[in-house]
Amino acid sequence: MIQIVDEITLAPERIPDVLALLRDRYLPGHAARGLTAAGHWVSPPVAVPGQPSTLWLTWHVADAPAYYRMRALTDAGVVSFWMAVDALCDVRRRHVMADADAPLPALTEVDHAA
């Protein structure tokens, strides 16, 4: 299984806006792309005046081929969603991880981009 964690740094008052975008524009099509939503969290667990918060969105896909299928199924709606999130946040990063105890599959493409 591949774990995907979206790390979104933003002002605490923007969190409801991003969650509304997620609910209205991303979640309706995520399963068709092979994604399973695993949860969302915020840190720190309090709004600190003048400090950003981090919103963590977690997902998983079955395996590496499913991850690349999901990416290949990115459409204009997905791109539009992430552009809207980018307009609300300071920084956004996606982490893609596999179980450290599982053997890593060999890369077969020379010009690979994660």
Report if residue 15 sits inside a domain.
Answer: yes
Q: Is residue 77 part of a domain?
A: yes
CA distance 97 to 16: 27
Q: Is residue 91 part of a domain?
A: yes
Q: Domain total for the chain?
A: 1
Are residues 4 and 60 in contact, defined by beta-carbon separation less than 8 angstroms?
yes
Does the reported pTM lie above 0.85?
yes
> Would 56 be classed as within a structural domain?
no
User: Contact 75/32 with Cβ under 8 angstroms?
Assistant: no
Separation of alpha carbons 113 and 91, rounded Å: 21
**pLDDT tens, position by position, 36-69:** 999 999 999 999 999 999 999 999 999 989 999 9
**Cα 46 from chain centroid (whole Å):** 22
Cα separation, 3 vs 60, whole angstroms:
5
Query: Is pLDDT of 114 > 60?
Result: no
**Whole-number Å distance between alpha carbons of 26 and 33:** 11
- Which CATH number characterizes residue 46's domain? 3.30.70.100
Q: Provide the domain limits for residue 79.
A: 2-50+64-98
